[in-house]
Amino acid sequence: MENFIVSARKYRPATFESVVGQQHITNTLKNAIKNNQLAQAFLFCGPRGVGKTTCARILAKTINCTNLQPNGEACGTCDSCRSFLNGNSFNVHELDAASNNSVDDIRSLIEQVRIPPQGVRYKVYIIDEVHMLSQAAFNAFLKTLEEPPHYAIFILATTEKHKILPTILSRCQIFDFNRIRVEDMANHLASIAKKENISYEPDGLHIIAQKADGGLRDALSMFDQIVSFSGGNVTYRSVIDNLNILDYDYYFNITDSLLNENSANTLLLFDEILTKGFDGAHFISGLSDHFRNLLVGKDTSTLKLLEVSEGIKTKYLQQSQASTVSFLLSAMNIANQCDLNYKLSKNQRLQVELALLKMCHLTSAFNLAAAPLNTMPSQEGQLKKKPDTPALAPQPAAEPAPVLSEPPTNYTTAKTPVNKPEPVVKEAPVAEKPKVFIPNLHSAATSVKIPSLKELGKQGDVLVDEEEDPYLKGDDREDFTMDSFLKYWNEYAAKVKADGKHNLLSIFNANAPTMLRPYEFEIIVGNKVQENLFRNERPYVLNFLRSTLKNFGIELNARIDEQTVVKRPYTNQEKYQHMAAKNPALAELKKRFNLDFD
């Protein structure tokens, strides 16, 4: 029975041209070989399974090839290439630093460096997982790495560049390997499937490439696994069943239900996903990626960011046209919050279901927010237009406005005696209102209408109404008792409480006003914030008190209470000083017996 060789080893690249997805590195190395500009040390760093060790071996074989090809590749037929392929080359040494990371291992390597190559130009040392070397081993390696013999070349490979000493990094040419793109991996898997006479579906290979997360070795391992599972027929269904991947159709169906606001179908689909053994965190993470792909698919310039097969890409384009950007952004935000809170939640299923229900009602929320501001729901459940707000512009001069003999108030006053006459409405001409004169214009028009800046130069002088004073005016000066004042003060406090102004209510309940002199009162507040609150409310309080007590000479001001904070003794020294201030004999006692604090 012939031994089985996994695809990762069987189809391992043997030339620079066959390396997948690292053209920027292979081109640089080929040019360095052709121009004879090889560095003394190379550092290959990048994720797992992207070709670091493979490129190191190809470089070691190519620089010692005695029959180098014009394109910079090794011939594969000379003695050096054949000995390398057979694994018995004396000029290429590989060291696994994960298991040989001590100082003695590095000293043994340094001793081997002194021996020149046999029959070729260079002696190459490949040190894999170099970040596993100990601190002492790195220090022992420094001098040799900086000034090696002219025939020695070191190739270091690592997945964690940040763990390598800066002194090592400064002595190497650093090559950063990229994650291999999904499209490149899918094409490579398709070429292997053709060589092995394996039938496949492009969607299935794309799923394997996505699951590999940029590592070609992982993709080849999964490919071998699925070939064994499916009997040589790699289909989309066999891939998602074997790799425990959630089908794209679930995400498309759930998104359709969310857009149609079908919450019942959404919850049923999520229950079916849980029944098949998928985790809620895995589902909500995949749903976030699905919304991201839909958002990417809405613009033709970002279509290249969709790392899916052509069949799945068509579905994304169709569904992206049916969804709005607002819905996708809001749904992604909800899914992201659910993903963050999932592990901390005691009821994790409810956490996901709540997020799905929120997404289900996003469309209704957007429609409600887009409704006109001058509409409100009527009793029949339909939108009914509000009456238009009357304009605040002044009346024309030909129609004089009525003026009340007493200014109206905004608050409920004390009970009015029965024999008090009703306020008489008198008509006053508009011209009697105080005006502000705008000079430097060539006419003397008396129009009340305020023109625009362009009209000012044409109409000439304009008279504008002065801003209205918020305080009521009157001549009443009736006497009142302090009890009457406090009665109406508490009555206004009750109105403040009914209006829900709790910050202002604390000012009224904290302290009662004190009378400094007749008709002049003062209230104490605790801080600057309360002082500003009361200053804004002061006109309404004064209008209420003046009108109810019939005394327009009442004044009310606020003052911040500046209390001195008494510092309490805390340390032993502070306690001693506090006690010694009260009893000076303690100081004499401390001095006489030479006492001190513990």
pLDDT of residue 354: 93
Residue 392: Cβ-neighbour burial (10 angstroms; 0-12, 13-18, 19+): exposed
* 176, 201, 225 - which closes a domain: 176
Tokens of 372: 């006109």
More confident residue, 291 or 405: 291
Say yes or no: 453 and 513 in one domain: no
Per-residue CA distances from 66 to 13, 62, 87, 118, 124 (Å): 20, 9, 18, 13, 15
Per-residue CA distances from 378 to 197, 370, 382, 388, 494 (Å): 71, 18, 6, 16, 33
Does any domain span residue 570? Answer: no
Does any domain span residue 352? Answer: yes
Does any domain span residue 315? Answer: yes
Say yes or no: 123 and 65 in one domain: yes
Say yes or no: 11 and 135 in one domain: yes
pLDDT of residue 333: 93
Q: Does residue 156 contact residue 184 with C-beta atoms inside 8 Å? A: no
Average of per-residue pLDDT values in the chain: 79
pLDDT of residue 395: 46
Distance CA 513, CA 201 (A): 86
Say yes or no: 189 and 169 in one domain: no
Residue 276, classed as helix, strand or coil, is coil
> Measured between alpha carbons, how far apart are the two ends of the chain, in Å?
86
* 138, 157, 176 - which closes a domain: 176
Say yes or no: 82 and 205 in one domain: no
Say yes or no: 39 and 87 in one domain: yes
Residue 529 binned pLDDT confidence (cut-offs 50, 70, 90): confident
pTM of model > 0.75: no
Say yes or no: 35 and 168 in one domain: yes
- Interval 131-154: pLDDT, tens: 998 888 888 888 888 888 888 999
Does any domain span residue 140? Answer: yes
- Interval 68-120: pLDDT, tens: 888 888 888 888 888 888 888 888 888 888 888 888 888 888 888 888 888 88
Tokens of 273: 């996903």
pLDDT of residue 465: 44
Range of the domain at 440: 428-468
Say yes or no: 30 and 167 in one domain: yes
Say yes or no: 164 and 193 in one domain: no
Distance CA 323, CA 341 (A): 26
Distance CA 525, CA 507 (A): 7
Residue 45 binned pLDDT confidence (cut-offs 50, 70, 90): very high
Say yes or no: 362 and 432 in one domain: no
- Interval 206-264: pLDDT, tens: 889 888 888 888 889 989 888 888 888 888 888 888 887 888 888 999 999 999 889 99
pLDDT of residue 394: 44
Query: How large is the average pLDDT for residues 476-494?
Result: 85
* 353, 368, 383 - which closes a domain: 368
Does any domain span residue 580? Answer: no
Query: How large is the average pLDDT for residues 272-292?
Result: 90
Query: In the chain, how many domains are there?
Result: 5
What CATH number has the domain bearing residue 62? 3.40.50.300
What CATH number has the domain bearing residue 284? 1.20.272.10
Query: How large is the average pLDDT for residues 26-49?
Result: 89
Does any domain span residue 582? Answer: no
Say yes or no: 276 and 343 in one domain: yes
Say yes or no: 256 and 351 in one domain: yes
pLDDT of residue 358: 92
**Identity of residue 352:** V
More confident residue, 382 or 507: 507
Q: Does residue 156 contact residue 137 with C-beta atoms inside 8 Å? A: no
Does any domain span residue 438? Answer: yes
pLDDT of residue 330: 92
- Interval 343-388: pLDDT, tens: 888 898 999 999 999 999 888 888 887 765 445 444 444 444 444 4
pLDDT of residue 523: 87
* Cβ-based neighbours of 265, under 8 Å, separated by 6 or more: 257
Query: How large is the average pLDDT for residues 296-301?
Result: 84
Angle between helices 572-582 and 585-592 (to 10 degrees): 120
Does any domain span residue 396? Answer: no
* Cβ-based neighbours of 290, under 8 Å, separated by 6 or more: 251, 252, 255
* pLDDT cut 70: percent of the chain above it: 82
pLDDT of residue 215: 86
